[in-house]
Amino acid sequence: MDRLLLIKGGTLIDGTGRPPLKRATVLIERGRFKAIAGGNEVTVPDGADVIDVSGRTVLPGFIDGHGHLEDFQGELYLHLGITTCITIEIFQDGPWTLGQRQGTQLGRIRGPRVFTSGRAIGGARTATDAPSNRSSRGNIVVTTAEAARAAIRRKKELGYDVIKINEFLSFDLVAAAVDEAHKLGLPVTCHSWDAVRSSQAGVNAIEHIWSVGYSSIPDLKRRHELAEQRLAGNIEQEIAGSFYEPANYDDVIDAMVRRGVAWTPTIAKWLRPLSPSAQRFRARENEILSNPDADLPASVRAVTENSYDKLLRRYSPAQREQAKIGYEKANEFIRRFVEAGGTLKEGSDPPRGMAALLMHQALVMDVEAGVSPMQAIQAATLNVARTFKIDSDYGSIEPGKVADLFVVDGDPLQDIWATQKISTVIMDGAVLDTAFRRYKNPIPSFYSYQTLPMDLDLSPLMLTEGIGPTTLKVRGKGIWPFHRVYLNGRPVPTTYVSNTELQATIPPEAIASAGTYVVTVRAEGEPLPESHRAHLVVGFREP
What gap in Å lies between CA 179 and CA 201, rounded to an integer? 9
Does pLDDT of 60 surpass 90? yes
Does pLDDT of 211 surpass 90? yes
SS3 annotation, 123-141? CCCCCCCCCCCCCCCCCEE
Give CB contacts under 8 A, 24+ apart, made by 189-193. Answer: 189/88, 189/117, 189/162, 189/163, 189/164, 189/165, 189/387, 189/388, 190/164, 190/165, 190/166, 191/89, 191/120, 191/122, 191/165, 191/166, 191/167, 192/167, 193/167, 193/223, 193/224, 193/227
- Given this model, what pLDDT does residue 134 score? 41
CATH numbers and ranges of domains, the chain: 65-370 (3.20.20.140), 457-539 (2.60.40.10)
- Given this model, what pLDDT does residue 158 score? 96
Q: Which of 37, 40, 41 is nearest to 21 (CA)?
A: 37
Burial classification of residue 95, based on how many CB atoms lie within 10 Å of its CB (0-12 exposed, 13-18 middle, 19 or more buried): exposed
**Each residue of 325-344: pLDDT tens digit?**
999 999 999 999 999 999 99
Average pLDDT over residues 443-465: 94
By the 8 A CB rule, do 526 and 441 touch?
no
Confidence class of residue 124 from pLDDT cuts 50, 70 and 90? confident
Question: How crowded is residue 455: how many other Cβ atoms within 10 Å of its Cβ?
Answer: 11
Confidence class of residue 323 from pLDDT cuts 50, 70 and 90? very high
Q: Give the helix/strand (H/E) hosting 9.
A: strand 5-12
SS3 annotation, 209-261? HHHHHHHCCCCHHHHHHHHHHHHCCCCCHHHHHHHCCHHHHHHHHHHHHHCCC
- Given this model, what pLDDT does residue 233 score? 83
- Tell me how far apart the terminal alpha carbons of the chain are, to the nearest angstrom: 74
**Each residue of 254-308: pLDDT tens digit?**
999 999 999 999 999 999 999 999 999 999 999 999 999 999 999 999 999 999 9
Q: What is the DSSP string of 388-448?
A: TT-TTTSSS--TTSB--EEEEES-TTT-GGGGG-EEEEEETTEE---S------SS--SS-
**Each residue of 127-142: pLDDT tens digit?**
444 444 444 456 899 9
3-state secondary structure of 148: helix
By the 8 A CB rule, do 346 and 366 touch?
yes
Query: Is the bond into 469 cis (omega within 30 degrees of 0)?
Result: yes
**pTM for the complete prediction?**
0.95
Q: Give the helix/strand (H/E) hosting 320.
A: helix 317-339
Does pLDDT of 154 surpass 50? yes
Does pLDDT of 155 surpass 60? yes
**Each residue of 396-439: pLDDT tens digit?**
999 999 999 999 999 999 999 999 999 999 999 999 999 999 99
- Given this model, what pLDDT does residue 511 score? 98
**Each residue of 5-56: pLDDT tens digit?**
999 999 999 999 999 999 999 999 999 999 999 876 777 788 889 999 999 9
- Given this model, what pLDDT does residue 290 score? 96
Which range is least confidently modeled, 40-49, 150-159, 358-367?
40-49
**541: DSSP letter:** P
